[in-house]
């Protein structure tokens, strides 16, 4: 049966609950992050993240990475794994997303992105399975989630309204090692996608204008 949650219909989630468009781009061994910001475009967002404008390129994703350690963005840019972090940016309505294949963007940069009455959110997953989410508005960090401490029934009522709505859309995915209703490893990625309306299939991703950049 296809994996679904309240906000993610069939065709939008991989078997482990990761949004399928991220699963499409990511390396097999994942140490990555997703950042979203409302009210600024993709190229402007990359520049705000200190990317040299000369390094920003329009991107058509290849069919596959060169090896399990290479994201599709890195394959497109022919970036050597371990020496170049790569960013993939695009837009969905007023929201811009940046897929960060090495989780190189930090919380301070996210907070700066939110200045000017904008909202921004970021989630990262480490190779050690550490998962966190940050949500900032107008230059202030508003909420932080650490997956190890997340208890949905307890914590949802205390989240900002649009973040709570995003987590409810994210729902939970059943795994043998989790209790009923317990937050799964991919819930924060789903929540950030739900926040920005990135309820996408692989085809949706590949139809979207994209920009890529390597970060030295």
pLDDT at site 80? 53
Residue 14 burial (10 A CB sphere; 0-12, 13-18, 19+): middle
Q: Residue 162: in which H helix or E strand, if any?
A: helix 161-170
pLDDT at site 79? 65
Q: Is the pLDDT of residue 121 over 50?
A: yes
Gap between the Cα atoms of 36 and 195, Å rounded: 8
Q: Which two tokens stand for residue 47?
A: 């520049």
Handedness of CA 76, 13, 69, 46 (dihedral sign): positive
What is the domain partition of the chain in residue ranges? 20-146+201-215
Q: Is the pLDDT of residue 82 over 90?
A: no
Determine the average pLDDT of the residues in 22-27.
95
Gap between the Cα atoms of 47 and 38, Å rounded: 15
Lowest mean pLDDT among 8-17, 98-107, 156-165: 98-107
pLDDT at site 68? 83
- pTM, to two decimals: 0.95
Confidence of residue 41 (pLDDT cuts 50, 70, 90): very high
Gap between the Cα atoms of 178 and 96, Å rounded: 33
Whose structure tokens read 């929540």?
Answer: 191
**Contacts for 83 with CB less than 8 Å, ≥ 6 apart:** none
Determine the average pLDDT of the residues in 125-154.
94
Q: What is the pLDDT of residues 47-81, one digit of tens each?
A: 999 999 999 999 999 988 778 888 999 999 986 54
Residues of the chain above pLDDT 90, percent: 79
For residues 87-104, one letter each, b for 16 or more C-beta atoms within 10 angstroms of the residue's C-beta and e for the rest, the string is: bbbbbbeebbbbbbbbbb
With the CA atoms of 185, 191, 196 and 200 taken in that order, what torsion angle do they form, in degrees rounded to the nearest 10? 60
Cβ atoms 90, 208 nearer than 8 A: yes
Whose structure tokens read 């995003």?
Answer: 166
pLDDT at site 83? 47
Mean pLDDT, the chain, rounded, equals 93
């Amino acid at each position: 049966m296809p994996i679904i949650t309240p906000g993610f219909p069939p065709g939008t989630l991989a078997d482990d609950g990761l949004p399928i468009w991220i699963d499409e781009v990511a390396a097999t061994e994942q140490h990555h992050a997703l950042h979203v910001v409302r009210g600024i475009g993709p190229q402007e967002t990359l520049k705000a993240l200190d990317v040299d404008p000369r390094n920003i390129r329009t991107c058509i994703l290849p069919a596959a990475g060169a090896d399990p350690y290479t994201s599709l963005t890195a394959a497109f840019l022919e970036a050597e794994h371990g020496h170049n972090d790569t960013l993939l940016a695009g837009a969905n309505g007023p929201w811009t997303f940046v897929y960060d294949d090495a989780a190189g963007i930090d919380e301070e940069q996210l907070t700066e992105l939110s200045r000017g009455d904008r909202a921004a959110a970021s989630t990262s997953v480490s190779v050690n399975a550490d998962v966190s989410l940050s949500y900032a508005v107008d230059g202030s960090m508003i909420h932080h989630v650490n997956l190890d401490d997340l208890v949905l029934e307890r914590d949802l009522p205390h989240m900002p309204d649009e973040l709570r709505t995003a987590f409810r859309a994210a729902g939970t995915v059943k795994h043998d090692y989790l209790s009923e209703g317990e937050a799964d490893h991919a819930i924060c990625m789903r929540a950030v996608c739900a926040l920005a309306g990135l309820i996408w299939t692989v085809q949706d991703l590949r139809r979207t204008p994209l920009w890529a950049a390597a970060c030295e």
